[in-house]
Amino acid sequence: MASATEDVLSDRVAIVTGGGSGIGRAIAIRFAQAGARVGVLDIALDPAEATADAIRTGKGTAEAVICDVTRMDEVNGAFALVQERLGALDVLVNSAGVSHIGTVESTDDADFDRIFDVNVKGVFHCLKAGVRAMKDRGGVILNIASVASTVGIPDRFAYSASKGAVLTMTYSVARDYIDSKIRCNSVAPARVHTPFVDGYLKTNYPGREAEMFEELSRTQPIGRMGRPDEIAALALFLCSDEAAFITGTNFPIDGGFLTLKG
């Protein structure tokens, strides 16, 4: 697998949605270390700027752009701005997403619509803009799915449904645009230690955060949560020429969750 010190994305332009925090931030920084010029898209400008500043501190090139992926007009504007400033798009990573805790009974219409607006419609909008940008010259698209795309996880009704859609959109784009030399894959992380996890523990288990963190970590057969930089390492490989023979595939990165659990 490619290391961050190799210029495997040299002279490539990448857009990473949700690049202001968590997995998206780790991917944006890792891609810049590998030579890419990175458009960091996020719904909030300050986190996007923080990621871009970290990239520039490491002598990389980045452009922070505010973008609500649920709005097609904002996506089109953000993609156009990145390409105007950094060059034609080569790589797209759809990392922007939100989570939700709940069963079918406890999920209301507003919860369901919010999850699908971001996780499904948002990916749809970015896929549309990305394919349009790459169709005449080829490129690579990587979607961030989840282990919840393929197995039942308690209290994740809407989230699981949305990530299942991300997975099947991945297959569809890979099939439809293989002749346009666009590769499209997805990765399916299990639980990764991101700011969402910390916020969830603080909200639901005040005073017991450390205890519950360890309990959640033990739900992974490997005995810990994943790290964003580990997801970024796999993303770098899949978006590099080293993975030129890979398309239409979903890659679990889950500490054994899918195959060793139980």
**Catalytic positions:** 159
Q: Report residue 175 as tokens.
A: 């099939």
Gap between the Cα atoms of 2 and 173, Å rounded: 25
Buried b (16+ CB within 10 A) or exposed e, 222-235: eeebbebebbbbbb
Instruction: List 94's β-bridge partners, or say none.
Output: 143
DSSP-derived letter for residue 117 is I
At a CB cut-off of 8 Å and minimum separation 6, what does 229 contact? 26, 30
Gap between the Cα atoms of 72 and 45, Å rounded: 18
Report the C-alpha dihedral over residues 74, 80, 81, 84, rounded to 10 degrees: 180
List the end-to-end C-alpha distance of the chain, in Å, as a whole number. Answer: 30
Gap between the Cα atoms of 262 and 221, Å rounded: 9
Q: Which of 130, 128, 133, 122 is nearest to 42 (CA)?
A: 122
